[in-house]
Amino acid sequence: MNEIDTVLGIETSCDETGVALYSGSRGLLAHALHSQVALHADYGGVVPELASRDHVRKLAPLIRSVLAEAGLEGGDIHGVAYTAGPGLVGALLTGAAVARSLAWSWQVPAVAIHHMEGHLLAPMLEEAPPSFPFVALLVSGGHTLLVQVEGVGRYRLLGESLDDAAGEAFDKTAKLLGLGYPGGPALAALAEKGDPGRFRFPRPMTDRPGLDFSFSGLKTFTLTTWQQASKGLSGGELEKLRADIARAFEDAVVDTLVIKCRRAVRESGTGTLVLAGGVAANRRLRRQMDVMMRGEGGQTFYPRLEFCTDNGAMIAFAGWERLKAGERVGLAFNARPRWSLMELLPPGR
């Protein structure tokens, strides 16, 4: 059997088709991403059946393109990694089927990767990666998790959202302010123009002990503020209000996440914080987390912006970690739309 060096990673859990080649000896060789934003925009959210069909269309061309970019052929690949969950079942099955078939035809092993483990390990692709142990804040469209990380597959849950995920709160709030899908980046851009002093929104669950989060009340608070303050306004005044509310909402989410992370870092005694997942692309969050961790005498690590949101590189990297330790899936594959990160074991176990 070949030693595992070059791994093809495939990500299709939601609305991005991500493909990448990672080499243990040479690093990231190539990556490609197709976003389905335009496909789902008219519907105001992801339409699962359309997502699956688009993954089917885009996977083969993207795989061909990363192989060409890296100057490799199928015979140069030592293993294939795919996102097996959590996510949309049809979308996951598409990636799983393609990945498993390619591994079979190339006669190499395949491995099933947990999407959130991909996010969690994404900062390892950077030039100065964090070292274990660390506290990780995973903030995506579907999850908000605070995790104590001792090594790959050695995770302990410190806190999680009891209702909406942080990204979901951004998306829903953006929608009620009349911004399009996907709302997070649009809301963050609008917040840049907002006045931070006009409104102060609550920082949910920060006044009691514990590391859990709750964001659904904040969304309702935003709606009520918008409805009351927008009465009788139009034109520039309405636009200004929208921006001021976006800023108040973003400040509240960022502050809440920072307060909980400070608490988690103090309790765990580690000086390293990792920030990952789509919301980790939020510039204010990155900045504020840096300031907080410097105050704690520690350091924050996050992926480059494009590897915060869904991508194939993080799956190729997590796949390489697990494949090199001997982990494999059999010829029968499945998708796990619901799958807790805490079920994972260290590679190869």
Nearest C-alpha neighbor of 182 from the set 147, 221, 141: 141
- Residue 265 buriedness (CB in 10 A; 0-12 / 13-18 / 19+): buried
The minimum distance between CB 188 and ligand KG4, in angstroms, equals 4
Say whether residue 17 binds Zn ion (CB under 5 A). Answer: no
Q: Counting contacts by CB under 6 A, is residue 160 touching ligand KG4? A: no
**Which entry of Zn ion, ligand KG4, none binds 303, CB below 5 to 8 A by partner kind?**
none
When asked if residue 282 is in the footprint of ligand KG4 (CB under 6 A), the reply is yes
- Residue 54 in the binding site for Zn ion (CB under 5 A): no
Out of 117, 251, 310, 321, the only residue in the binding site for Zn ion (CB under 5 A) is: 310
Determine which residue in the list 10, 279, 293, 318 makes contact with ligand KG4, applying CB under 6 A: 279
For ligand KG4, the binding residue among 20, 281, 289, 314 (CB under 6 A) is 281
On whether the CB atoms of residues 182 and 168 are closer than 8 A, the answer is: no
Provide, rounded to whole angstroms, the least separation between the CB of residue 140 and ligand KG4. 3
Residue 337, preceding bond cis, omega within 30 degrees? no
Selected from 79, 159, 194, 278, the binder of ligand KG4 by CB under 6 A is 278
Tell me which residue of 300, 99, 258, 95 sits closest to 166, measured CA to CA.
Answer: 258
Give the dihedral sign, CA 65/18/78/26: positive
Q: Which of residues 2-61 bind ligand KG4 (CB under 6 A)?
A: 14
Q: By CB under 6 A, which span of 3-11, 27-35, 165-173, 202-210 interacts with ligand KG4? A: 165-173
**C-alpha pair distances (Å), 216 with each of 223, 245, 262:** 11, 16, 22
Number of residues that bind Zn ion (CB under 5 A): 2
Site for ligand KG4 contains 310 (CB under 6 A): yes
Sign of CA dihedral 169, 174, 180, 185: negative
182 contributes a contact to ligand KG4 by CB under 6 A? yes
Q: What, of ligand KG4, Zn ion, none, does residue 182 touch, CB below 5 to 8 Å by kind?
A: ligand KG4
d(C-alpha 13, C-alpha 83), whole Å: 7
Q: Which residues contact 54 (CB under 8 A, 6 or more apart)?
A: 17, 34, 36, 39
Structural tokens at position 225:
């503020």
134-139 and 144-151 strand pairing: antiparallel
164 binds Zn ion (CB under 5 A): no
Q: Which residues bind Zn ion (CB under 5 A)?
A: 140, 310
Q: Which residues bind ligand KG4 (CB under 6 A)?
A: 14, 140-142, 167-168, 170-171, 182-185, 188, 277-279, 281-282, 309-310
